[in-house]
Amino acid sequence: MDKSSTGQLQALHDQGFALLPGVVDAGRVAALRAAIDELRPQHWDYSGLVDHYKCVFNRDPLWLPYLDLPGVIELAEAALGADCHVIGQTAWRCHPGFIGAGLHLDYLLMELPQTLLEDPAFRLPMQICTAQLYLSDIDEELCPTLVIPGSHRAGRPPRAGERCWRGRPAQPVLCRAGDVLFLRSELWHAGSRNRTADRSRYLLQIHYGRRMVAQKFSPYLTWRFDPAVLAACTPRQRRLLGEHAEAEYD
């Protein structure tokens, strides 16, 4: 890992998230926005005030390079192991009037005692992380993601009505199109409203898990990889999509 990646990994341990600036240039941002505009709902996808499309990597090889973006994949592998894989890739378009989501965490392997979590010598291992690639400039009016730094060490989900952790309220992550917010699944975070009159927030999420975390490719029983997508994959992308070396439970 280079110096910047080492600092980002430390931020995941200390704060629960890291912001990676300028990961994708303006030309690719525009191409991804246009590609999201062409998507149509399948299976569990839905449209309305928010358009939500799952497993987009399997629709066109165009999406494959975003599974292992330089600077992002190195952080994912450092956090989750060199044999980590993708458990989902989801495209979003959040329109004016979109409400967002309340304070929550995405996944907690187990609740742990505070005595352990407060020990500065203890590092809570990561199981799942999400890279949020913003395809819009994010200001306070356009659905900023809200995070509570350090809340991954709460050892539990937020309770109903809870708005702070240890007196720290959620704070907005303001960033530019092409930036990536990389967060661990135990972090308390929230989605916020689209308060604009005429702007939609475009976002691509890539979810990474440790080797033993199941991949979330729906519709599960009838899932099939598109042969054209597999043919276009690099070896690393094939591993990220599940082509692992044989292990104990295979």
pLDDT tens readout for residues 22-73: 999 999 999 999 999 999 999 999 999 999 999 999 999 999 999 999 999 9
Beta bridge partners of 52: 46, 92
Pick from 186, 182, 201: nearest CA to 52:
201
Rounded Cα distance, 48 and 5, in Å: 37
Look at residue 245 and tell me whether its pLDDT is greater than 90.
yes
pLDDT of 27 reads 98
148-162 residue pLDDT tens: 999 999 999 999 999
Look at residue 128 and tell me whether its pLDDT is greater than 70.
yes
Q: How confident is the model at residue 5 (pLDDT cuts 50, 70, 90)?
A: confident
Specify if 246 maps to a domain.
Answer: no
Look at residue 2 and tell me whether its pLDDT is greater than 70.
no
For residues 212-239, average pLDDT: 96
- Residue 112 DSSP label: -
Specify if 157 maps to a domain.
Answer: no
Q: How confident is the model at residue 166 (pLDDT cuts 50, 70, 90)?
A: very high
Between 5 and 98, residue with greater pLDDT: 98
Determine the structural domain holding residue 101 and report its residue range. 3-108+120-152+166-241
For residues 9-31, average pLDDT: 98
Specify if 220 maps to a domain.
Answer: yes
Pick from 145, 32, 147: nearest CA to 91:
32
- The domain that holds 230 is classified in CATH as 2.60.120.620
Percentage of the residues of the chain whose pLDDT score is greater than 90 = 92
Look at residue 136 and tell me whether its pLDDT is greater than 80.
yes
Rounded Cα distance, 245 and 125, in Å: 23
Side-chain-facing half-sphere of 71: CA atoms under 13 Å? 17
Q: Do 146 and 189 contact (CB within 8 A), yes or no? A: yes
Domain total for the chain?
1
Specify if 93 maps to a domain.
Answer: yes
Specify if 250 maps to a domain.
Answer: no
Place of tokens 């240039």: 25
